[in-house]
Chain A
Amino acid sequence: MIDQEVRTPAPRTGGVRAFRGRRALTIGLGAFAALILLRLITGESDITSSGTMSAMLGLAVPIGMAAMGGLWSERSGVVNIGLEGMMVFGTWGAAFGAYFGHSPWLGLLAGIIAGALGGLLHAVATVSFGVDHIVSGVAINILAPGVARYLSDLFFTHESGGGATQSPQLPHFPTWSVPGVGGPLGDLEKHHWILISDLAGLIRGLLTNLSPVTLTAAALIPISFYLLWRTAFGLRLRSCGENPLAAESLGVKVYTMKYAAVVISGAFAGVGGTFLAMVASSNYQEGQVNGRGFIGLAAMIFGNWRPGGVAAGAGLFGYADALQLRGGASAVHAMLLLLGAGLLALAVWHAYRRRMVTAVVSAVVAVGLLAWFFLTDELPKEIVTYSPHITTLLVLAFAAQRLRMPAADGLTYRRGGGH
Chain B
Amino acid sequence: MRRAVKMTAVAASAVLALSAAGCGGKKASTGGGGGGDSKKIVKVGLAYDVGGRGDKSFNDAAYAGLQKVQSELKLDIKDIEAKEGESDNDKIQRLQLLAQSGYNPVIAVGFAYAGALGKVAPKFPTTKFAIIDDNTVQQPNVADLLFAENEGSYLVGAAAAKKSKTGHIGFIGGVATPLIKKFEVGYTAGAKKVNPNIKVDAKYISQPPDFGGFKDPAKGKTIAQGMYDQGADVIYAAAGLSGTGSLQAAAGAKKWFIGVDSDQYQTAAADEKPYVLTSMLKRIDTAVFNFVKGVGENQFQKGDQRFTLKNDGVDYSKSNPTALGDLPSTIDDLKQQIVSGKITPPEK
Contact = CB atoms under 8 A, between A and B. Distances in A.
A252 B331 CA distance: 75
Interface stretch (A35-43, A51-59, A349-357): A51-59
A157 B53 CA distance: 9
Contact of B222 (A139, A157, A169, A326): A326
B215 interface: yes
B4 A132 contact: yes
A31 interface: no
A211 interface: no
B226 A327 contact: yes
B226 A164 contact: no
B219 interface: yes
B66 to A, nearest CB: 13
Contacts of B34: none
B76 interface: no
B15 A326 contact: no
Contact of A165 (B53, B204, B269): B53
A253 interface: no
Most buried by B among A139, A161, A325, A385: A325
Interface string A124-153: 010001111001100100110111011001
A72 B231 CA distance: 43
Contacts of B212: 287, 290
Nearest to B269: A169
Nearest to B56: A161
Nearest to A141: B15
A55 B253 CA distance: 14
Most buried by A among B50, B205, B218, B229: B218
B40 interface: no
Interface string B77-102: 00001011100000000000000000
B20 to A, nearest CB: 8
A328 interface: yes
A66 interface: no
B3 A287 contact: no
B267 interface: yes
Interface in B223-250: 223, 225-227, 229-230, 241, 244-245, 248
A131 B8 contact: yes
Contacts of A164: 22, 26, 52-54, 81
Main secondary structure of the interface of B (DSSP, over half): helix
Contacts of B81: 163-165
Given A55-B225, A290-B212, A150 B8 contact: no
A265 interface: no
Contact of B215 (A135, A153, A287, A385): A287
A169 B7 CA distance: 38
A248 interface: no
B217 interface: yes
Nearest to B53: A163
A415 to B, nearest CB: 15
A146 B269 contact: no
Interface residues of A, number: 50
A281 interface: yes
A134 to B, nearest CB: 11
Given A143-B18, A169-B269, A325-B219, A129 B4 contact: yes
Interface in B26-84: 26, 50-56, 81, 83-84
A327 B230 CA distance: 9
A182 interface: no
A276 B222 CA distance: 13
A145 B85 CA distance: 11
A166 interface: yes
B23 to A, nearest CB: 8
A132 B222 CA distance: 39
Contacts of B4: 129-132, 135
Nearest to A328: B203
B11 A326 contact: no
B176 A286 contact: no
B52 A163 contact: yes
Interface in A282-306: 282-283, 285-288, 290
A322 interface: yes
Nearest to B230: A46
A299 B241 CA distance: 28
Nearest to A149: B22
A150 B26 CA distance: 12
B314 to A, nearest CB: 25
B18 A150 contact: yes
Interface in A358-404: 381-382, 385
A55 B176 CA distance: 23
B344 interface: no
B269 A285 contact: no
B12 A281 contact: no
A166 B221 CA distance: 18
Contacts of B225: 51, 55, 326
Nearest to B211: A287
Interface in A184-237: none
A147 B206 CA distance: 27
Contacts of A80: none
Contacts of A157: 26
Nearest to A322: B222
Nearest to A280: B218
A382 B176 CA distance: 9
B189 to A, nearest CB: 20
Contacts of A285: 215, 217, 241
B85 A287 contact: yes
Given A139-B12, A281-B245, A381-B207, A166 B54 contact: yes
A146 B244 contact: no
Interface string A296-339: 00000000000000000000000001100111100000000000
B166 to A, nearest CB: 15
Contact of A129 (B7, B21, B55, B207): B7
Contacts of A288: 215-218
B122 to A, nearest CB: 30
A52 B223 CA distance: 10
A56 to B, nearest CB: 10
A144 B241 CA distance: 21
| Closest 7 pairs (CB-CB, A-B) | A326-B226, A163-B54, A281-B217, A280-B218, A149-B22, A146-B19, A165-B52
15 contacts: A46-B226, A55-B225, A125-B7, A130-B4, A131-B4, A146-B19, A161-B54, A164-B54, A165-B53, A165-B55, A276-B218, A280-B217, A325-B226, A326-B226, A385-B210
